[in-house]
Amino acid sequence: MNRPPRTATLHPTVFVAPGVVMLGDVTVGARSSLWFNTVVRGDSDAVVIGEDSNVQDNSVVHEDEGFPTRIGSRVTVGHRAIIHGCVIEDDCLIGMGSVVLTGARIGAGSLIGAASLVRERETIPPGSLVVGSPARVVGALSERHRAAIRNGSAHYAELARSYMRSGLARGADPSGTVARDASSMTRREWEDLLVRLEEGPAWTEARRRDGSFDGVCSNLESLDRRRIMVLEAVVATSELVVMRSPDRAEAAGDGAPRESFFHWRDARLELVRRLASCGAAEWSRPVGHPTRGARSLADWLREWVDEDLETRRALGRSEGPRP
């Protein structure tokens, strides 16, 4: 049975490399990373990835109905691995090119050697060293193996942070595809986006004059409040800024419609003025979303403009023909 489409839920510190595709019921925990051209599909059941884990390039993480995939914390999944409808407990390493099939369970602190095949419904005891196709337990992990697993997880967490600082931060959009990276932003596109944002207050003011202002402004204001606060912070720092709803932002809409409009207009236009001076160094700064991971300032601005225009189109349609 197919499940209804869902948007991936990502901690703000998750790194998603260009080319990754996520679909359906996917949850990824803090500081975890998904690397180039990996596919994560939760279309028949859930996929849950814990904290400080990494799924490396060209891997596939899928599930079966009734067999969700659960990858624990501090797990490394090597390049080109296939993880399918199984459970991988904490502190494991799944070697490059390995396959873990439906119903299998990998006990905590185990190492699955490269190109191994773990068969359906097989249980690997905790702390096992496993090799072969089909896979077999050949011994217990040594302290050297355990240290390698810890170091690998920590290395990829730091590597992901370095990529995020360079502007290759990503979040998933509802379609499951990955947004463009900041390197594709040009000065012309940046300026065009800012012009679109400048148009919003004038468009809203026209509706205010003919009596349809209140609903229009409240819709646009509610979309803007958190974004304005977050982007003000991003312009001021190169550190990761996470979107949230501070009290001051919520208070912005407390006044009467007229005062609320002017507050919103002035805040948006002042932010546009500040963003106009940004260049490539600022475009790559990371911005964290509470459920969709981190993306660059460039992608954040694109998303804001897209949603602003779509909201105005929807409000315009609901008004009907204008006199």
* pLDDT band at residue 124 under the 50/70/90 scheme: very high
* pLDDT band at residue 111 under the 50/70/90 scheme: very high
Q: Where in the chain is the domain with CATH 1.20.120.450?
A: 182-319
> Does residue 189 have a pLDDT over 70?
yes
Lowest mean pLDDT among 26-30, 188-192, 229-233: 229-233
> Does residue 260 have a pLDDT over 90?
no
pLDDT of residue 224: 73
pLDDT of residue 228: 73
60, 42 in Cβ contact below 8 A?
no
Q: What is the mean pLDDT of the chain?
A: 81
Amino acid at the residue 176: G
pLDDT of residue 73: 97
Of 309, 306, 301, the C-alpha closest to 227 is: 301
Distant-in-sequence contacts of 197-200, Cβ < 8 A, 24+ apart: 197/268, 197/272, 197/304, 197/305, 197/308, 198/269, 198/272, 200/268, 200/308, 200/312
pLDDT of residue 103: 97
pLDDT of residue 249: 42
SS3 of 85-141: CCEECCCCEECCCCEECCCCEECCCCEECCCCEECCCCEECCCEEEECCCCEEEEEC
**What pairs with residue 242 in β-bridges?**
288
Residue 1 tokens, joined: 């049975």
The stretch 199-220 carries a mean pLDDT of 65
Residue 66 tokens, joined: 């009734």
* pLDDT band at residue 114 under the 50/70/90 scheme: very high
pLDDT of residue 248: 43
3-state DSSP helix/strand/coil percent for the chain, to nearest 5?
A: 40, 25, 40
Task: Please report, rounded to a whole number, the percentage of residues in the chain having pLDDT higher than 90.
Answer: 41
Lowest mean pLDDT among 9-23, 140-154, 278-292: 278-292
CATH topology of domain 9-165: UDP N-Acetylglucosamine Acyltransferase; domain 1 (2.160.10)
pLDDT of residue 317: 64
pLDDT of residue 242: 57
Q: Where in the chain is the domain with CATH 2.160.10.10?
A: 9-165
* Spatial distance between the Cα atoms of 35 and 115, rounded to a whole number of angstroms: 19
* pLDDT band at residue 95 under the 50/70/90 scheme: very high
SS3 210: coil
The stretch 207-228 carries a mean pLDDT of 62
CATH number belonging to domain 182-319: 1.20.120.450
pTM assigned to the model: 0.63
The stretch 64-91 carries a mean pLDDT of 97
> Does residue 81 have a pLDDT over 90?
yes
